[in-house]
Amino acid sequence: MPATLSTITGTYPPAERTKAVGVWAAVAGGSAILGLLASGILLHWFSWQAAFAINVVLAAIALAGTLRFVPESSQSNAPALDKGGALLATVALVALVFSIIEAPDAGWLSARTLGGLAVGLAALAGFVLFERRQHHPLLNPRLFSDRKLSAGSLSICIQFFAFFGFTFVSLQYLEGIRGYSPLIAALAVLPLSATMMPAARVTSGLASRFGARTVCVTGLLLVAAGLVIISWVGTDTSYLLMLAALVPLGVGMGAAMTPATAAITEALPQAQQGVGSALNDLSREVGGALGTAVIGSIVTAVYRSSLQLPGAPAPLVDQARASFAVAIHAGGSTGAHARSAFVTGIHTGLLYAAGAAILAAISVAILLQRQAPTRRSVSHGEGPQAACGAEQIATSSLRHPSHRSIGSTTDPNDVSSITQPVSTFTTNSGR
């Protein structure tokens, strides 16, 4: 994923870059729903192995397209992988996500949950401190001093927090409560992709007219509105209610995704577009992982606390509370009570997701209220005073004519060079 975005930002000139990023965001966001549809079609006609086999075919097509169309790039002086930073980041994310997912079983205040969260937060703090001392860090924490980059990263993270959380619970709702097949369930959420993709395509023009801040904040508020509407679903509500929620949710994600992605890439100089692409992907993946873990855990916890099975045998009660799928397959009053309890969990979980989107909208509005001043990157050969000044700010504007070309040598004193690039694309074609 980082390589795809850095290919675009390294190939297209600044005048066309936002539009190209809009196409990328539309495809990246919409393909998630299209993937659900493809899986539903395959599961309808074939076994579950087909859902994995199709990826081999798609990978072969992508490989052929890459060899044919993507320009070659290399960086002979690329720094070595920051193994210490990678290890600390992995430990932090694994500990946090695992503890959140297991919290409904272990208890939110249990020693295992609190200990796991403490380990994750400690590893995250250690990661920040470790990276600040590295000459070529995996991720330079100083980058987030740029308000534009911070706003874009936060927006992307919360968008996919809400999106993955919604996807996780909505498919269980459609299949477990409404009784849809995997194919029909995928078709039911297709309007999300159908609205997200065109919205992302036209967002670059809207951002030019009304400003990225207005478009991004409006998109996040539409995401929140869609989640609130979906939280009203019940065991027997019409699908039209869900459809009425999918439209603002899709439009909101499409509107917020393009300016947020552009904010990240524009906050870094051309030579660091690989870093911007990696940071964008990191925001998506962390948001998605936390969204699935947090929203899923909230729904599970509320479901278990709400499920009441008077007169049912104790073993059945334990099994029903441990698994929603087991409860609905039990049928009868057990299945009916389980469906009602799961809907209650959906109400709570999606309202939390909507609250996160609203907080993100407020934060983005504040961060983009005024632009922090930017400075020139320290060019190769400049003195230590210039390097010291560059360390006070993590990014430079892509619009400044004095930035180095992609293939130029990086000064180790330049703060923009102390973030380890994931991929840097050099091309003179199409310029």
H-assigned helices in 234-383: 239-266, 273-306, 314-322, 324-330, 332-367
More confident residue, 107 or 251: 251
CA distance 280 to 263: 10
The answer to whether 429 and 10 are in contact (CB under 8 A) is no
Phi-psi group of 381: left, alpha or beta (phi > 0 → left; psi -120 to 50 → alpha; rest → beta): left
More confident residue, 399 or 186: 186
Is residue 424 predicted with pLDDT exceeding 60?
no
The answer to whether 261 and 153 are in contact (CB under 8 A) is no
pLDDT band at 259 (very low <50, low <70, confident <90, very high): confident
What are the tens digits of pLDDT across the range 21-45? 667 666 766 676 677 778 878 877 8
Is residue 405 predicted with pLDDT exceeding 50?
no
> Which pTM does this prediction carry?
0.71
Res 30: pLDDT = 67
For the segment 273-299, the average pLDDT, to the nearest whole number, is 86
Res 49: pLDDT = 83
* One-letter-per-residue 3-state SS of the chain: CHHHHHHHHHHCCHHHHHHHHHHHHHHHHHHHHHHHHHHHHHHHHCCCHHHHHHHHHHHHHHHHHHHHHCCCCCCCCCCCCCHHHHHHHHHHHHHHHHHHHHHHHHCCCCHHHHHHHHHHHHHHHHHHHHHHCCCCCCCCHHHHHCHHHHHHHHHHHHHHHHHHHHHHHHHHHHHHHCCCCHHHHHHHCHHHHHHHHHHHHHHHHHHHHHCHHHHHHHHHHHHHHHHHHHCCCCCCCCHHHHHHHHHHHHHHHHHHHHHHHHHHHHCCCHHHHHHHHHHHHHHHHHHHHHHHHHHHHHHHHHHHHHCCCCCCCHHHHHHHHHCHHHHHHHCHHHHHHHHHHHHHHHHHHHHHHHHHHHHHHHHHHHHCCCCCCCCCCCCCCCCHHHHHHHCCCCCCCCCCCCCCCCCCCCCCCCHHHCCCCCCCCCCCCCC
Q: Where are the beta strands (DSSP E) in 136-197?
A: none
Average pLDDT of the chain to the nearest whole number: 79
What are the tens digits of pLDDT across the range 365-388? 999 886 444 443 433 334 333 333
Res 416: pLDDT = 38
